[in-house]
Amino acid sequence: MLRLHYNLEKLSMGLVAGIIVAASVGGIVEIAPLFTIDETVVIPDDMRPHTPLELAGREIYIREGCYACHSQMVRSLADELDRYGPYSLASESAYDHPMLWGSKRTGPDLARLGEKYSDDWHVAHLIDPRSVVPASIMPAYPWLTRALDTDLLRDQLATLARLGVPYDADMIEAAMSDTQGQSQPDSDAGDAVRDRYGEDVAVRAFDGDPTRLTEMDAVVAYLQSLGTLTDAPYELLAEETE
């Protein structure tokens, strides 16, 4: 075998052909399962898409490079289950474009972060991480207190709807008002968000000020939604431990 490889290295075109064959086999192995993804990934009945405010927070999360240090993928290992909770299911990311599973953990995994800490904790952590976690090496994001730009949200929902995310025409049309309403718990707009996305959706002034809609509102709303879009992982883990 080593002699064959040695002889192949002396033939440049043969080596190129061998590389192409090896790369093609690897590509087919990775791509082929995607053709049956509709049969292998079953979306839970209680799965909901992100609200416009959560979606805006997700875009800021990507913009600021948070995914480079935080994964959103709990693996089925005992120590991870003990620390983070139920392991991640592919169906939980069915509406994510792109998905943010990742593998880099400079910081902890965030897949089950939702409602683990208070909104005030998240605000303090984002403005000055070391004020709540003295050993943290996370950078500060004080500029998240600026106003949230909502101009593109309706178009984002419409685009995601074309990709299969279940945003209906009413959700798309109300994207901007729902973004404002989710941060105003005592308003008719807040009630409308619950009507469209379900009673379990968090509707509150995430940054503590319902009179202003900020990037902080969006990011905290997104972080508080992680792991709360469906109960399927918790139900599956309960069945497996019975």
Query: Which residues are CB-neighbours of 87 under 8 A, at least 6 positions away?
Result: 74, 75, 76, 80, 81, 233, 237
Q: What is the pTM of this model?
A: 0.86
Per-residue pLDDT at 240: 80
The dihedrals phi and psi of 147, each to the nearest 5 degrees, come to -65, 145
Please report which residue ranges of 12-162 form alpha helices under DSSP H: 12-31, 37-40, 52-63, 78-84, 119-127, 153-162
For the chain, which residues make up each domain, given as ranges?
Answer: 2-40, 52-241
User: Which stretches of the chain score pLDDT less than 50?
Assistant: none
Helix, strand or coil for residue 150?
coil
- Taking only the tens place, the pLDDT of each residue in 113-161 is 999 999 999 999 999 999 999 999 999 999 999 999 999 999 999 999 9
Per-residue pLDDT at 31: 79
Per-residue pLDDT at 2: 64
The closest alpha carbon to 217, from 208, 225, 209, 207, belongs to: 207
Q: What is the CATH number of domain 52-241?
A: 1.10.760.10
